[in-house]
Structure 1
Amino acid sequence: MTAPTGPAARTATEPSVAEEPELQRSLTHRQITMIGLGSALGTGLFLGSGSAIATAGPAVIVSYALGATLVGIIGLVLGELTIAHPERGSFGAVARRYLGPWAGFLVRWLYWLGAVVAVGGEVVAAALYLQFWWPQLPTTVGIVLVAGIVLGVNLVSVKSFGVAEFWFSTVKVTALLVFIVCGALLVFFGLPGTPAAGLGNVTGDGGFFPEGSGAVWVAMAVVMFAFAGFETTFISAAETSDPGRSIRTAMRSLVWRLGLFYVVSISLVIALIPWRDSAAGDGSVQASPFVQVFADIGVPAAASLTNAVVLVAAVSAANANLYGASRLLHSLGHERLAPKALGKLNGRGVPVNALLGSACGIAVAAGLAGYGVDNVFDALVSIAIFAILLVWLLILASYLRFRRGQDPAVAGERGGRTPGGRITAWVGIAGVLAVVATAAVVPPMLDAALVGGGFTLLLSAVYLLGIRRRTARTAEAA
């Protein structure tokens, strides 16, 4: 299928480019790679892996390897689509182009809500990390402080966002590399006064599959959402000086870096700490495996060091996800699929209204998370979980339509071609559906399917009863 070009490619609701300033192409290809890492390497890796370990034991290593492979497939597919269409709205605009207006509307609103919930959770987490040093600091003050920093960075300019995210992510990546080197030394060589740990913990307590081989699949319900957020790399293509080169570079490095960091880090945790001890962690800084490893090699104030890293990780993830949420909300306003004001840019090319709109949603999510309104916040989290799965499915479905009848030579000349093409995309679809199927045995995933599915039906009704009718009237008037 060949995508339409020129005026015929515009929908009845899409405004002329001349009506408003364009997004500024200020991001470098190095910054784009780090933006993706900043979104995906959040507190889920540093503190939140305990629940996955509790589910599968040492075999969770396989779960993370499978998760990295699935994310790699989606990343390659999304990279090829983005190189072909480096436009505002990213995969939402691509879904509209190849699957129709409803898909473009749905995927962007779902991703926006998922990102907003994620940022709300990260902001609350960062406020709690500040209390590690200042226990008397009210949670509200911490939330406002962190949210203000993140919003301020995004409001100044896209360049300031790129610079900040580059350095935030650099801190996280450096910490992970130090952890990997130190962990490998402790496992294979030991240190003076500390013998090598070896691989005994990998098979010593119930074997490699203490909960059975099926637990590898069940753990995927937890594992996959540690990777969520990498899509921000591709959202940023519309603000990149050289989208083709930047996305090709980011696509290659992002896929293997995420796999390396997650799989190797978790493998070292399993080797160094009995898996039942890691699984029993309460998610606090003191219980983090990073603290235990740094303490074992004699690093002073290991807990404070780890707290600083996870604080940066939370701020970085919030920063990147707010950026992604605001750009998709801006594209919805630009196409009149959201209030028109959300599609406006200021003189620096910043979608201020979309940023403030996203910040309002974050304030609600952070308030619900920070003040123990568990039922409501859990419902939002369920929608976010369902949203990311549906977004991935729609990305893969868009790719199948994109590649239908396409001349392979054309894709090869453009670069970034996905190995295996449509077959690889079908494997990705099967993988995502396998994660969805864990709803049969994992209550939170069942909640995600029920609540998220209901919200998707609500969005569809809004589109059919409101947006579609308005579009039809506009076309008739024209």
Structure 2
Amino acid sequence: MTMIALGSALGTGLFLGSGAAIGVAGPAVIICYAIGSLIAAIIACAAGEMAVKYPVRGGFGTMAGRFLGPFAGFITRWAYWATTVCVAGAELVAVATYLKFWWPELPLWVGILVFALVIVFLNAYSVKSFGLVEFFLSGIKVIAVVAFIVIGLIIVFFGLPSHPAEGTRHLTENGFIPNGPSSIWLGMAVVMFSFGGIELISISAAEAKDPVRSVRSAGKATIWRLATFYVLALFVVMALMPWSAAAGTGDLSSSPFVMVFSEVGIPAAAAVINFIVLIAALSAANANVYAGTRLIHSLSYQGMAPRALQRTTKLGSPARSLAMSCVGILVVIVLALVTENVFLIMMSVITTFILVVWILILGSYISYRRKNGASSEFRLLGGTPTAVLGILGLVAIFAAVLSSPDMRLPGFVALCFYAFLTAVYYLFVRRFVGSDMDAFDEAEVATSV
């Protein structure tokens, strides 16, 4: 369960998206990631506390339907589907971007298209050993980050035979907050993209043999590891090279993590890191296409999506749901034909989607605490006031997204999608949506047993 959450939250947002965050906040991006870790911890603990009490199928989507009403449940589920679809596209953009490390002239859309075909093939014909493969790929990703941090700290404080110790001069040579205090707020709009996946603990709880023990241990491990990995990794990046270089040219043409090893004269290590983050992004794209396909397939049985999506092939693959969940891939291929700034556009849309999902999770938690009181097995420290603080932080970040010139338009596009979902719900879906009470009744029986 820990590896599922880490595998989703520890990935392209850190390896590639951190370049955009550095461009906004400079070395103060370390503060951004520290604040982001705190907000992510609030979300994970709130979702975990509810999951311990009600380890229901559908996780936080079912929680929203139960504690905030059917409309909230509908919006949460569809918003999360849209998030997985867009993340799949963004991860393929990352894969194509990493390929430029070896083939700088390769058009972005070519890399996206080639690996998109691979992903679609894998999801259409084989899902065997999916969890095991994702576990090992996530493990590779975690090992890569740990190795980067250890080697980076050695270079910063002790140096290598071929490279003297760097020290921390790069952190302050142009000021720790070169773009002013407001850059920390604006940087949060980019940083929070990195924490997407922290909510998966809630979804996986329904399949755990011992939800209480699993959620408690996985929640704590995920929170502390994410905070440590993000803050230390960004400290290493900021200490080893000037922040303006780590930010690149603004087109996210290379990962800051790869650039660090190239900058200190270890090109072989840079190539290895680039290969690892490429595989990690491909793994995440595959996982999100899989998740989006299964989610939209299940929604068709709940009256929240067209019934035609229930059909499967002779091999048992929900082909129509798969086709619908590839819409994000089609979008990024089209965008790649007209602009090189595809990743930032997709990151803006995804951030808007996931912020709304997180706000609904915390809103569900506040209603849950009002009706159930505190859980004795696993709880969010501070309870309702902490959740309210988390919501205020997410709203402030939402405002930062709409205040950023580069993220404003994609953010408004995501808001238009919510307006579309609202119209669809009240015009077509409302009368078909059932209650989430059955799932809660089953959970109460299971936990009492």
On whether the aligned pair clears a TM of 0.5, the verdict is: yes
Partner of 2:302: 335
Q: CA RMSD in A?
A: 3.1
Aligned with residue 451 of structure 1, among 391, 413, 418: 413
Q: 1:161 to 1:370 in 2, by over 3 A?
A: farther
Runs (5+) with no aligned partner, structure 1: 1-31, 473-478
Q: Measure the CA separation in 1 of the matches of 2:162 and 2:333.
A: 48
Q: 1:346 to 1:230 in 2, by over 3 A?
A: farther
Aligned with residue 59 of structure 1, among 9, 19, 28: 28
Q: Give the 5 Å matches for 1:349-388.
A: 352-353=318-319, 356-372=322-338, 382-388=348-354
**2:370 is aligned with 1:404:** yes
Aligned with residue 231 of structure 1, among 199, 209, 213: 199
CA contact (8 A) 2:190 2:347 kept: no
Aligned with residue 217 of structure 2, among 243, 249, 268: 249
Aligned with residue 159 of structure 2, among 190, 193, 197: 190
Across the two proteins, how many residue pairs are aligned to each other?
A: 434
**CA-to-aligned-CA distance 1:322-351 (integer Å, 9 cap, x gap):** 343234323322211112354578999x77
Q: Measure the CA separation in 2 of the matches of 1:137 and 1:232.
A: 35
Q: Give the 5 Å matches for 1:171-210.
A: 171-205=140-174, 207-210=175-178
CA contact (8 A) 1:48 1:283 kept: no
CA contact (8 A) 2:64 2:76 kept: yes
Give me the TM-score of the superposition, normalised by structure 2.
Answer: 0.86
Partner of 1:161: 130
Q: Measure the CA separation in 2 of the matches of 1:63 and 1:81.
A: 28
Q: Measure the CA separation in 1 of the matches of 2:142 and 2:341.
A: 35
Q: Measure the CA separation in 1 of the matches of 2:73 and 2:380.
A: 22
Shift of 1:429: 0.5
CA contact (8 A) 1:46 1:310 kept: yes
Q: 1:266 to 1:174 in 2, by over 3 A?
A: same
CA contact (8 A) 2:344 2:407 kept: no
Report the 3-state secondary structure (helix = DSSP H, G, I; strand = E; otherwise coil) of the residue aligned with 2:414: helix
Q: 1:425 to 1:156 in 2, by over 3 A?
A: farther
CA contact (8 A) 1:150 1:319 kept: yes
Q: Measure the CA separation in 2 of the matches of 1:137 and 1:449.
A: 29
Query: Residue type matched to 2:273 in 1?
Result: T
Shift of 1:234: 3.0
Shift of 1:407: 3.9
Partner of 2:425: 463
Q: 1:169 to 1:106 in 2, by over 3 A?
A: same
Query: Residue type matched to 2:297 in 1?
Result: H
Partner of 2:437: none
Q: 1:326 to 1:76 in 2, by over 3 A?
A: farther
Q: Measure the CA separation in 2 of the matches of 1:289 and 1:86.
A: 39
CA contact (8 A) 1:105 1:337 kept: yes
Q: Measure the CA separation in 2 of the matches of 1:246 and 1:117.
A: 29
Shift of 1:382: 4.7
**2:9 is aligned with 1:40:** yes
Partner of 1:125: 94
Q: Answer with 169-178 or 296-305: which moved more.
A: 296-305
Q: 1:439 to 1:295 in 2, by over 3 A?
A: closer
Q: Measure the CA separation in 2 of the matches of 1:245 and 1:344.
A: 37
Partner of 2:68: 99
Partner of 2:399: 437
Q: Measure the CA separation in 2 of the matches of 1:199 and 1:381.
A: 30
Q: Measure the CA separation in 2 of the matches of 1:103 and 1:461.
A: 13
Q: Measure the CA separation in 2 of the matches of 1:282 and 1:407.
A: 48
Shift of 1:376: 10
CA contact (8 A) 2:193 2:350 kept: no
Partner of 2:382: 420
Q: 1:347 to 1:450 in 2, by over 3 A?
A: same
Aligned with residue 389 of structure 1, among 350, 355, 363: 355
Shift of 1:384: 2.9
Aligned with residue 260 of structure 1, among 228, 231, 244: 228
CA contact (8 A) 1:232 1:324 kept: no
Shift of 1:455: 1.8
Partner of 1:11: none
Q: Measure the CA separation in 2 of the matches of 1:127 and 1:187.
A: 31
Partner of 2:446: none
Q: 1:464 to 1:375 in 2, by over 3 A?
A: farther
CA contact (8 A) 1:94 1:104 kept: yes
Partner of 1:22: none
CA contact (8 A) 1:110 1:384 kept: no
**2:274 is aligned with 1:307:** yes
Query: Residue type matched to 1:211 in 2?
Result: N
